[in-house]
Amino acid sequence: MKLLLIGEDDGTRVLENKLQQCLDASGEITTISLDNLGDKLRAEKFDLVLMDNKQAEEMVVKYTEDQALLLDNIETQVWYLKDEQTYGAVNKAHAEFMGAEKEELAHKNLYDFMDADEVGGCIEGNKEVFEAKRQTHTEEWIKNCRGETRLLAITKTPKLNSHGKVEYVVCSAEDITDQRQMEDALRKREEERTKELNLLYSFFLLLRQEGYDLEKTLAETAKLLPPSFQHPQLACACITLMERQYKTKGYQNTPWKISSTLKAQNQQIGTIEVCYLEHPDQDREPFLKEEKIMLDMVTEELGQVIERNWLEREHKRIFELSMDMIGYADIDGKIIEVNPACEKILGWKQEEFIGSSFFDYIHPEDQDATYKATEKLADGEPVEGFTNRYRCKDGSYRWLSWNSYPELDLHRAFFVARDITYAMKAKEELRNAHDRLEVKVEERTADLKRAVKQVQALRNIDMAITSSLDLRVIFKAILDEVTSLLNVDGAAIMRVDPNTATLHYKAWRGFTVANPRDFSMSWGEEFAGRVAMNREVVHIPDLKEKEQNVVQRPLMEQEGFISYYAVPLIAKGYVQGVLEVFHTQSLNEGDEWLNFLETLAGQASVAIDSAELFNKLERSHVELLQAYDATIEGWAYALDLKDKET
């Protein structure tokens, strides 16, 4: 009979521990206490089954086949070693890896299937397990049946008997070649990314250094590039900017290179090139895509740095050379920064101006308006075209025009101030000139209006002269125009009586009390007589200051006249009379006024002369008619006498 142990757990080890004492040297059971053994096995959840030899063998075979089927359908390679260099049994996966059948490997020496070099390493690892009697984990490079060297992760577990000796070693192996290659690739990529990050980090640190200098930055950037590539020992770099080059030591322009275009302000300004001095790997491209991306990133950032550098230099030139005052002040008016133009405009040095308040310099009359402008800035509104006056170092004031833009996040405002003092003076002068021009235009307009009125007056007088020979009508028209256009209170026309050599008033205006008809004067007496005799214009601004003769004194006093003009009326060399002008206030007009007065006097003279000529012609005509009639009568009388005589 055979004893077969069936259990829920690993029955082999329990069976060895429980039944070792019952086994003889042949391995068969000789004597067993069923009660004692059954109790012990039931405590370990085992059942005892008694069967005959045939049944036991069949069951063992079936169990062995099941185990083989199970092991042959897993990918893990499994085998066991009888000693350091001899196979026991192997599963299908290991047999296929070795390129043999399972039966060909079973119980065979490792030297029969492996290279001597590989066997030596395997034996050394196997010895360690057999000697140490403990499980080990190793990674071993072993050639497969296709001649490929594969990396196997092998776990070797020793099987010890009851005496603690190693009966055999169970080995299981996983092919981790692909995994290791992936890990290596990832590790290599991580190293590459680390180099790229180190490059970018070093590059940004370089940009943040104090005392930033573009030339130094370009040279240092070129040095940073080669160590960040796959093969730094072969790499060299060159940065070209506007025909200037910044190279690493030993740089050569080779066919194995990548480049990136430097741009600033939307224009190409140069290139960055990285070259390998020789091709690092003939089977692959010399540069990775990631390296090109990294180079483009550095190039783009460097282009922005160059553009900022240009803008900063331009800003600095504008800031230092501008004729306008440029700077920053906080929202409360404290000056933070200002360019040298403040000294040119106001006389204050930069160090004197910075730190002070704008309100220390503003003209008192402009303080309120400036406070309101500051409030607008505090509210985030820009101030443009604001003007006020600032005190210079010499105490004078200059006009400034301000454009200011708030930066509330920085609690400050940017300002540009232009000196417009000369413009303000020019504006004032222009305004004054405009005012003067307006006055002149008004004066000229008044002159033109006056001239028009004068021309109209002369036309009216001409029409009066041509339409009538009545001196009363003509004198009335002349006196109306004199008093109206010359703005005087009174006027009169005196005629010379050539028979008596006296002057008589023939027409007048503005006399409300006295009657000029009652007044006459001799040639050469009074003002009018002297005018007629001397043939000169007489002007007396104040009659009270002049001694008056007896005849004209009552006339002047009764009407209250103070100022007096008199113009002789002369036609064809003969004095026809005098035109007098009176005013109740002092009268001292210009040449234009006097010329028009004389023109009116001339018109009056012409009118008198024309009237006199007409009167003479009329009298001559009458006398001629009378003479004709007398002649006819004489001839008729003579004929009558002759007839009587005959």
Is pLDDT of 377 > 70? yes
Residue 161 CB partners (closer than 8 Å, separation 6+):
167
- Three-state SS for 477? helix
Lowest mean pLDDT among 114-118, 436-440, 550-554: 550-554
The residue ranking higher by pLDDT, 608 or 90, is 90
Q: What is the DSSP string of 31-58?
A: ---HHHHHHHHHHTTEEEEEE-HHHHHH
Highest-scoring range by mean pLDDT, 7-21, 134-148, 283-297, 344-358: 344-358
Say which amino acid occupies 290.
E
What is the domain-level CATH number for residue 221? 3.30.450.40
Residue 192 CB partners (closer than 8 Å, separation 6+):
230, 288, 290, 291
Which of 14, 42, 73 delimits the end of a domain? Answer: 73
Residue 460 and residue 378 share a domain: no
32 is a domain residue = yes
Average pLDDT, the chain: 82
CA 514 centroid distance within chain: 86
- Three-state SS for 209? coil
Q: Choose among 620, 618, 625: nearest CA to 469.
A: 618
Q: Measure the CA–CA gap between 98 and 100, rounded to whole angstroms.
A: 6
Taken in order 625, 628, 634, 640, the sign of the CA dihedral is: negative
Q: Measure the CA–CA gap between 284 and 430, rounded to whole angstroms.
A: 82
Q: Can you give the pLDDT at residue 271?
A: 94
Q: Measure the CA–CA gap between 150 and 177, rounded to whole angstroms.
A: 6
Which of 175, 191, 207 delimits the end of a domain? Answer: 175
What is the domain-level CATH number for residue 106? 3.30.450.20
Mean pLDDT confidence for 540-548:
74
**250 and 271 Cβ atoms separated by less than 8 Å:** no
Residue 341 and residue 274 share a domain: no
Q: Can you give the pLDDT at residue 623?
A: 77
Which of 316, 348, 380 delimits the end of a domain? Answer: 316
**289 and 258 Cβ atoms separated by less than 8 Å:** no
Provide the phi-psi class of 256: left if phi over 0, else alpha when psi is between -120 and 50, else beta. Answer: beta
Residue 478 and residue 464 share a domain: yes
Host domain of residue 259: 181-316
Residue 585 and residue 492 share a domain: yes
Residue 575 and residue 558 share a domain: yes
228 is a domain residue = yes
Q: Can you give the pLDDT at residue 546?
A: 67
Token look-up 């290139």 returns: 271
Provide the phi-psi class of 154: left if phi over 0, else alpha when psi is between -120 and 50, else beta. Answer: beta
Token look-up 């192997």 returns: 90
Is pLDDT of 331 > 60? yes
- Three-state SS for 628? helix
Q: What pLDDT, in 10s, does the model give residues 189-214? A: 777 777 777 777 787 777 777 666 88
Q: What pLDDT, in 10s, does the model give residues 477-535? A: 888 888 888 888 999 988 888 888 888 888 888 888 778 887 888 888 888 888 888 88
Lowest mean pLDDT among 99-113, 159-173, 202-216: 202-216
Lowest mean pLDDT among 426-435, 465-474, 566-575: 465-474
Q: Choose among 103, 99, 74: nearest CA to 87.
A: 103
- Three-state SS for 562? coil
Q: Can you give the pLDDT at residue 233?
A: 92
643 is a domain residue = no
Residue 293 and residue 207 share a domain: yes
- Three-state SS for 339? coil
Is pLDDT of 29 > 50? no
Q: Please state the pTM of the whole predicted model.
A: 0.46
Q: What pLDDT, in 10s, does the model give residues 294-319? A: 899 889 988 888 888 888 888 888 88
Residue 458 and residue 604 share a domain: yes
Q: Can you give the pLDDT at residue 361?
A: 94
109, β-bridge pairs = 86
Residue 151 and residue 8 share a domain: no
Report the share of the chain in percent with pLDDT over 70.
88
Q: Choose among 60, 253, 97: nearest CA to 173.
A: 97
Count of domains in the chain? Answer: 5
Is pLDDT of 40 > 60? no
440 is a domain residue = no
431 is a domain residue = no
Residue 339 and residue 361 share a domain: yes
424 is a domain residue = no
Is pLDDT of 9 > 50? no
Provide φ and ψ at 578, rounded to 5°.
-140, 135
16 is a domain residue = yes
Residue 218 and residue 138 share a domain: no
- Angstrom CA distances, 199 to 193, 295, 298, 437, stand at 10, 10, 9, 75
The residue ranking higher by pLDDT, 546 or 319, is 319
Report the share of the chain in percent with pLDDT over 90.
25
Taken in order 345, 349, 352, 355, the sign of the CA dihedral is: positive
Residue 196 and residue 264 share a domain: yes
Residue 16 CB partners (closer than 8 Å, separation 6+):
162
606 is a domain residue = yes
**370 and 359 Cβ atoms separated by less than 8 Å:** yes
Q: What is the DSSP string of 273-303?
A: EEEESS-S-TTS-SS-HHHHHHHHHHHHHHH
Residue 523 and residue 378 share a domain: no
Token output for 527 = 């003002």
CA 113 centroid distance within chain: 81
Q: What pLDDT, in 10s, does the model give residues 547-603? A: 656 567 777 778 888 888 889 988 888 888 899 888 888 877 788 888 888 888 888
Q: How many residues does the chain have?
A: 646
Is pLDDT of 15 > 70? no
DSSP run (H or E) holding 375: helix 367-378
Q: What pLDDT, in 10s, does the model give residues 57-88? A: 666 666 667 777 777 888 899 988 999 889 88
Gyration radius of the chain over CA positions: 69
Q: Measure the CA–CA gap between 47 and 59, rounded to whole angstroms.
A: 16
